[in-house]
Amino acid sequence: MLSGPIKGVSLQGLVASVPQAREGLEQLAKRFGYEAAERIAKATGIYNRRIAGDGLCTSDLAHAAAARLLKELDWSADSIELLVVVSQTPDHILPSTACLLQERLGLSKECAAFDIGLGCSGFVYGLWNAASLMAANGLRRCLLIVGDTTSRILSPGDRNVAPLFGDAAAAAALSFDPETPNTGPGMVFDLGSDGSGAPYLMVPAGGFRRPSTPATRRRHTDKAGNKRGAEDLFMDGTQVFAFTLREVPRSLEKVMQRAGWDISDVDHFVLHQANAMMNRRLGRKIGASEAQVLIDLADFGNTSSASVALAMAHGLRAALLERPLRLVLSGFGVGWSWATVALTQQPLQACELIEVSEGTTAI
């Protein structure tokens, strides 16, 4: 259990970025049949996914979002003291994506920059890391970047994952002012992990435990008709669903209790956007109304570490620009890993969603 809230750190702006290219029911129907594609869409709430082409990497989506955010806030690049990048699909094994983006964005050499290798829980875990470091060290400005190009690590022939995952990134601007604490309880977090769930959502091969070989790269068709290889993303959806319903409601209830909020005090629950039915089920389990639980994945799919920030930038843009909101944000999945935060968000100075084309290097 974390000892207390983090005060004085606030979110000033948010920009999410997605590839222009879409893959929808028509493309899925060609691979799996129209009835199967439509059934999956109705069950998950996902009708389109944004797909990064060969010329677009995680850092490209991240750079576009961060550059736009700095411009909209009129923050100079050399005013950023901390850069935190959360991704499980980095451009390279090394160097870190954070170092690449530090140079590409023109940030100061005195800016601390590092990567965090998390997926679905990544935005809230990143927020906790960044806010903790800012408050402890008096850092005034930080860029928190989240993003994944999960389409690169899955088989197009695997109906368990291909219709679900899309690509996106987001950049959040954080500021710290010890003289102006957050309205309300500050940022109240609950974080957790359970590595026993690792086998149920993973890429089994291609790392150092099981290096890439012709055999691991070869794709086979299983008994259910799914075509994948050992270097492709594997997901056991039943286990994911069970984990979510077991751990996430408790995490949501913990942060509300620590914040001193009742369910009616929360304007919106912004949950990891993996499955619309699952998030509605979570909402019912904690007694939230349908209006409180944001569902915003129909045109994007499951965008892993970027999903919470993307849902905020797209689904809550108008509200975030206009008025204070009491929010509960929660990311959960691969690991198993989960992270939840309750915060009172003052109106943002910038909030938008942008589309990125291949070959984009700046905004």
Query: What is the C-alpha R_g of the chain?
Result: 19
- Phi/psi of residue 166, nearest 5 degrees: -125, 180
- Whether 92 sits among the annotated catalytic residues: the reply is no
Instruction: List the catalytic residue out of 160, 268, 302, 351.
Output: 302
Bridge partners (DSSP) listed for residue 41: none
Residues in the chain: 363
DSSP-assigned letters across all residues of 286-333: HT--TTTB----TTT-B-GGGHHHHHHHHHSHHHHHHS-EEEEEEEEE
Closest to 112 (Cα-Cα) out of 88, 137, 87, 148: 137
- Whether 120 sits among the annotated catalytic residues: the reply is yes
Chain centroid to Cα 201, Å, comes to: 16
Instruction: List the catalytic residue out of 63, 268, 272, 314.
Output: 272
- Whether 275 sits among the annotated catalytic residues: the reply is no
- Tokens for 303, please give them: 């965008």
CB contact set of 314 (below 8 Å; sequence gap of 6+): 16, 296, 300, 353
Closest to 90 (Cα-Cα) out of 98, 102, 82: 98
d(Cα 308, Cα 151) in Å, to the nearest integer?
Answer: 18
Instruction: List the catalytic residue out of 120, 129, 160, 351.
Output: 120
* Single-letter amino acid, residue 349: Q
d(Cα 302, Cα 184) in Å, to the nearest integer?
Answer: 31
Query: How is residue 159 annotated by DSSP?
Result: T
Check: CB of residue 58 under 8 Å from CB of residue 148: yes
Q: Please identify every residue annotated as catalytic.
A: 120, 272, 302
